[in-house]
Amino acid sequence: MDESGNITKVQELATRVRESVQLVIVGKDRAIDLSMVALLCGGHILVEDVPGIGKTTLSKALSQSLGCTFKRIQFTPDLMPNDVVGVNFFNQRTSEFEFRPGPIFSQVLLADEINRATPRTQSALLEAMQEVQATIDGVTMALPRPFLVLATQNPIEMEGTFPLPEAQLDRFMVRVTLGYPTPEEESKIFVRFEPGFNLPDLEPVTTEDELKYAQDIVPTVRVDQPVRDYIIDIVGRTRVHSGISLGASPRAGLALYKTTQAWAAIEGRDFVIPDDVKLLAPSVLPHRMILSSTARLRGTTAEQLVEEILSAAPVPIER
């Protein structure tokens, strides 16, 4: 099959998943699209917003549409690392140690309210998110592929939460915020809870093999040198900006590079354009940056600084 045919298959898969999730989620098209981008890149998704917005509903709808094994962990302050990765226990009947795998041994893991767990438990996900493996009592075991961590988090200012460590934030490919619905969208939500209206039970719209195939196609999307230089310039500007004390890491630059390839494929293109970079940078970079104390005192957000950088960076001219 030629390259255009491969890209078409990726686009069709993304369309099916998007339409499936939209059966349950009202609006929030950008959040759904960003989730598809991370999925096609083999990355992880951090869904952040205030309670009651629909973070968990989005996560469950996405996992149900994929046809992959799914596990959910409700993160709480008393959750221990072994509750996540698993534990070796002594079986008195066989007089041998046996391994009881934790929820992390699944293809889609919903880490619900991840910032309610202690930093020690949060760090249990670090190895899995980066290397798709888990080490228990010195033994390293591979996790099933594809592997996707879809974590929800309430704002840090909420009572009873622990900030995610920078190393873990850097492992989330995109951060998605849902925001409050419009009056029209909220009206549709109300209708869905009236007597006689039943939400559909989502069925898988893709297979594991089809998803793996699409993930293999995404890296073949062409990124010309001027667009590469544009990405490098944007990431570099985060490291020298006066309002940012810790800029985007090389992992962040690579994430921006990969996500633009995935978005181009979803749009049916086999090449990346500068607009793809401008579209995705606000979702890929801000959560990886640490603002200076001066910027925080002024009430400046990381998203505002990324938009400022995008406005200042020269855009390559398409030929």
Q: Find all residues with CB under 8 Å of 19, minimum gap 6, and list them.
A: 205
Any domain includes 295: yes
> What's the pLDDT at 198?
60
Indicate whether 298 and 210 sit together in one domain: no
185, 218, 251 - which closes a domain: 218
- 122-131, 152-161, 279-288 — which one is most confidently predicted on average? 279-288
Indicate whether 85 and 226 sit together in one domain: no
Q: What is the DSSP string of 14-39?
A: HHHHHHHHHTTS-S-HHHHHHHHHHH
176, 192, 218 - which closes a domain: 218
Domain span at 101: 1-218
Any domain includes 76: yes
Structure tokens at 137: 């009592």
Q: Residue 95: count other Cβ atoms within 10 Å of its Cβ.
A: 7
Q: pLDDT tens, 195-246?
A: 765 666 778 888 888 888 999 999 999 999 999 999 999 999 999 999 899 8
Structure tokens at 185: 């969208």
Indicate whether 174 and 244 sit together in one domain: no
Return d(Cα 25, Cα 316) in angstroms, integer.
37
Whether residue 140 has pLDDT greater than 90: no
Q: What is the number of structural domains in the chain?
A: 2
Indicate whether 157 and 230 sit together in one domain: no
Indicate whether 251 and 191 sit together in one domain: no
Any domain includes 49: yes
Indicate whether 233 and 290 sit together in one domain: yes
Any domain includes 318: no
Any domain includes 125: yes
- Helix, coil or strand: residue 126: helix
Indicate whether 4 and 98 sit together in one domain: yes
Long-range contacts of 16-22 (CB under 8 A, 24+ apart): 16/65, 16/205, 16/206, 17/62, 17/65, 17/66, 17/205, 17/206, 19/205, 20/61, 20/64, 20/65, 20/202, 20/203, 20/205, 21/58, 21/61, 21/62, 21/65, 21/202
Indicate whether 27 and 172 sit together in one domain: yes
- Residue with the two structure tokens 């490098």: 232
Indicate whether 124 and 49 sit together in one domain: yes
Q: pLDDT tens, 47-89?
A: 887 777 777 778 788 888 887 888 888 888 888 888 888 888 8
Whether residue 117 has pLDDT greater than 80: yes
Whether residue 269 has pLDDT greater than 60: yes
Q: Which of 69-78, 150-159, 178-187, 299-308 has the lowest mean pLDDT?
A: 150-159
Indicate whether 210 and 228 sit together in one domain: no
Whether residue 113 has pLDDT greater than 90: no
162, 184, 218 - which closes a domain: 218
CA neighbor of 40 nearest in space, from 276, 217, 268: 217
Any domain includes 99: yes
Any domain includes 319: no
Task: State percent of the chain over pLDDT 70.
Answer: 95
Indicate whether 256 and 280 sit together in one domain: yes
Any domain includes 189: yes
If you average pLDDT over residues 33-54, what whole number do you get?
Answer: 85
Structure tokens at 121: 């438990």
Indicate whether 227 and 212 sit together in one domain: no
Q: What is the DSSP string of 228-284?
A: HHHHHHHHHHHHH-TTEEE---HHHHHHHHHHHHHHHHHTT-SB--HHHHHHHHHHH
Q: Mean pLDDT score of the chain, rounded to an integer?
A: 85
- The CATH number of the domain holding residue 287 is 1.10.8.80
- The CATH number of the domain holding residue 79 is 3.40.50.300
> What's the pLDDT at 1?
46
